[in-house]
């Protein structure tokens, strides 16, 4: 048998090349071809012509840094943030919003075409924002030190170095206001402030987490390594309680664990309450500092509409990656029974409080890991519809196997990763029809996109 001839890359490290960017890759890089060889260019935009220098060469592709723009892309807009692209929080502030929506849909199309084995995924247009700035209702600031002065910011792109951020253009303006007040106190008390170092495990202040609700009410958490509030924390709390309209609570969260996990397991109240409430479809949810919840209630309403439209009156619903039940509890008047599976005991406590506060009697929590408990729970509950909202790695193979073996009539799948969504579609396609696929732009100015899929059991 003749050996397959290896192709030698047509570029070398450090070589300068002229390129035309023709596409965007999932991850945000521009895509170009040089002698039919793929080259990825950070910040490259389709329709632009550039000169670039090769920075990395692999067998099947190369990376290049842009040197000069010869022809500007029609999708280019001037970034509103002076820190772009230094700060790693956004990758697409230089792309017009229509272009962002176009390429996010293309990501899903490509993933399904190449990995799902489904010819017609019934893909709708992307549901987007009217105003794609200042949309995040939650932010987790990382403290750092700049020339001896403690600062609040986010990680520099592709690093763990902190970039000072005076205003973030994708977080709620109330969050910017609160972060600015805290930053001023830290700078004023700079001699007392010690910032946590992940490498040495030394230092006191690890994170500052801020969340707001749709009413403009806010909750602030100082994540620290000791259970005692330092003087400057108390001072910041005093400033916030006096200056910020609608602030509801300030807490001290203790995290003594090594590594970059944000929150610890214990908390101490400094001022007010340790939660804020968010009303969704008539249900009041309790949100603590570490509660997982969608970062924008406007987009959550679109997701809930999708879920509700595919749940029949009187259906039994199983929410396998349930959290506090944000996607399933609003169905309580329509469903006959709702079961939420959640591994985090604290989330289950909050879930039960929400049930009590809202007089919901047909919803139940099951403590456990969906990946190991799915089979037993599905057999016991015999649901009419299963809601899957897994992490980026997608649905565990054992969960999909249990869904298929138990012949669940309908599946609603909410995905934050087009590639794992397509992979799971392939596993389901012999047993389920992908009736509808709807992209949702939860994270403008980034390459991330959410995919909502509705599956119906094929007749045997």
Provide φ and ψ at 449, rounded to 5°: -145, 140
Cβ(171)–Cβ(134) under 8 Å?
yes
**What is the secondary structure of 339-399 as a DSSP string?**
EEEES-HHHHHHHHHHHHHTT--SEEEEES-HHHHHHHHHHHH--SEEEE---TT-S-HHH
SS3 110: helix
Cβ(44)–Cβ(18) under 8 Å?
no
Q: Assess whether 90 carries a catalytic annotation.
A: no
Q: Which two tokens stand for residue 441?
A: 């732009």
**Separation between Cα atoms, residue 249 and residue 246, nearest integer Å:** 9
| Given the residues 87, 90, 168, 416, the one annotated as active site | 416
Backbone φ/ψ region at 246: left (φ over 0), alpha (ψ -120 to 50), beta = left
Nearest CA-CA partner of 137 in 211, 75, 79: 211
**Separation between Cα atoms, residue 87 and residue 91, nearest integer Å:** 9
Q: For 192-324, where are the alpha helices, taking DSSP H only?
A: 231-243, 297-309
Nearest CA-CA partner of 370 in 346, 405, 400: 400
Q: Which residues are catalytic?
A: 416
């Amino acid at each position: 048998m003749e050996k397959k001839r290896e192709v030698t890359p047509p570029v070398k490290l450090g070589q300068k090349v002229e390129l035309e960017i023709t596409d965007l890759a999932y991850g945000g890089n521009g895509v170009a071809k040089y002698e039919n060889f793929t080259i990825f260019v950070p910040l490259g935009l389709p329709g632009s012509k550039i000169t670039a220098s090769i920075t990395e060469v692999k067998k099947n592709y190369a990376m290049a840094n842009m040197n000069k723009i010869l022809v500007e892309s029609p999708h280019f807009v001037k970034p509103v943030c002076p820190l772009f692209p230094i700060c790693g929080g956004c990758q697409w502030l230089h792309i017009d919003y229509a272009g962002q929506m176009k390429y996010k849909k293309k990501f899903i199309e490509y993933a399904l075409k190449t990995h799902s084995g489904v010819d017609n995924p019934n893909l709708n247009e992307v549901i987007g924002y009217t105003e794609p700035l200042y949309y995040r209702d939650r932010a987790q600031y990382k403290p750092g030190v700049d020339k001896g002065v403690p600062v609040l910011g986010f990680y520099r792109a592709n690093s763990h170095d902190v970039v000072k951020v005076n205003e973030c253009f994708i977080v709620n303006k109330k969050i910017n206001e609160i972060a600015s007040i805290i930053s001023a106190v830290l700078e004023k008390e700079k001699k007392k402030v010690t910032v946590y170092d992940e490498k040495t495990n030394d230092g006191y202040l690890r994170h500052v987490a801020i969340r707001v609700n749709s009413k403009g009410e806010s909750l602030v958490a100082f994540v620290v390594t000791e259970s005692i509030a330092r003087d400057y924390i108390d001072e910041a709390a005093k400033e916030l309680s006096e200056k910020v309209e609608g602030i509801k609570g300030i807490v001290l969260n203790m995290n003594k664990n090594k590594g970059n996990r944000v929150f610890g397991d214990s908390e101490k109240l400094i001022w007010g309450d340790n939660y804020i409430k968010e009303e969704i479809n008539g249900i009041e949810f309790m949100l603590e500092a570490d509660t997982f919840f969608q970062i924008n209630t406007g987009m959550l309403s679109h997701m809930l509409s999708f879920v509700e439209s595919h749940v029949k009156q009187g259906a039994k619903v199983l929410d396998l990656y349930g959290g506090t039940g944000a996607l399933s509890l609003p169905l309580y008047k329509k469903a006959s029974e709702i079961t939420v599976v959640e591994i985090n005991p604290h989330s289950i406590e909050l879930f039960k409080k929400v049930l009590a506060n809202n007089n919901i009697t047909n919803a139940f929590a099951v403590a456990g890991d969906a990946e190991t408990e799915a089979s037993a729970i599905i057999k016991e509950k015999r649901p009419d519809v299963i809601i899957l909202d897994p992490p980026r790695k997608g649905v565990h193979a054992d969960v999909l196997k249990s869904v298929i073996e138990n012949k669940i009539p309908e599946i609603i799948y909410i995905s934050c990763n087009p590639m794992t969504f397509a992979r799971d579609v392939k596993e389901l396609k012999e047993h389920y029809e992908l009736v509808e696929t709807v992209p949702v732009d939860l994270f403008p100015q980034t390459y991330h996109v959410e995919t909502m899929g509705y599956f119906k059991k094929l007749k045997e």
